[in-house]
Amino acid sequence: MPKATAAWLISNTTLTFDQIAKFCGLHLLEVQGIADGEVAVGIPEEKPIINGQLPRDEISRCEGSSTAELKLIEVEMSPMVGVKKARTYVPVAVRHKKPWAIVWLLKNYPEITDGQIIKLIGTTRHTINSLKDKQTWTAQHIKPADPVLLGLCSQIALNELVDAIEKGRQESASTEKSDTPVTDETDSDISRARTEMHTDVSEQDSDQESNNN
């Protein structure tokens, strides 16, 4: 906490208020208020040396020059392997509106899978199937609504889902197009030529019969 760090620096160093304000990202008057006991009253002080924000020699360097600025130590954080992403919290007040979002998604994106819906708004497969089959007793009270407007997901998450669905549509259309049989123009020409030849032969036979008669 910036104010907790500022409180410790005020009590334990001879740094100027300006130096402390710049390091903690506070306004100069806020630091003055902490020193006077008017701001952040009662908060426990946070020692930046212990949590690795500042080394002792850096504080000493800036105590020797009022124009020097404290430099924060950049600590490289190792990636957390195997830690699952926390699920987005959904307020209790809007949880009962999940069916509204499900119906809206099924209506606007018929290709959407149950897994995609579950991942987006955190529902169950049973709920989705009940809404598809209209077996839920609340079906008549459901008002389809955008899950973003309901606060069930972010606009970014919905956009990513829509992009994935659109990509699937394009791939499906491309596959259907490649499976459509293509008429061989050469075979068509040969068939047309044979028909014309047969017609000519028939006309010649008819003329010959007329002459014989």
The reported pLDDT for the residue numbered 104 is 93
Q: How far is 129 from 136, CA to CA, in rounded Å? A: 9
Tokens 């290709």 sit on residue: 111
Alpha helix stretches (DSSP H) within the chain = 2-12, 17-24, 28-35, 56-63, 92-95, 98-108, 114-121, 125-132, 155-179, 185-212
pLDDT tens track of the chain, all 213 residues? 678 888 888 888 889 999 988 888 888 888 888 888 887 777 788 887 776 667 888 888 988 888 888 887 655 545 555 555 555 555 555 667 889 999 999 999 989 999 999 999 888 898 888 888 877 666 677 888 898 888 888 899 999 999 998 888 888 777 776 665 555 555 556 566 666 666 554 555 555 555 555
Q: Let me know the angle formed at the C-alpha of 84 by 81 and 85, rounded to the nearest 5 degrees.
A: 120
* Block residue for tokens 């209790």: 92
The answer to whether 146 touches 104, Cβ cutoff 8 Å, is yes
Cβ atoms of residues 112 and 106 within 8 Å:
yes
**Which residues touch 199 (CB under 8 Å, ≥6 apart)?**
none
Residues 6+ apart with CB under 8 A from 131: 99, 102, 103, 106, 139, 142
- Residue whose pair of structure tokens reads 């392997």 in the numeric block: 81
CA neighbor of 15 nearest in space, from 23, 4, 26: 23
Model pTM above 0.85? no
Query: Which one, of 133, 125, 119, lies nearest residue 164 by Cα?
Result: 119
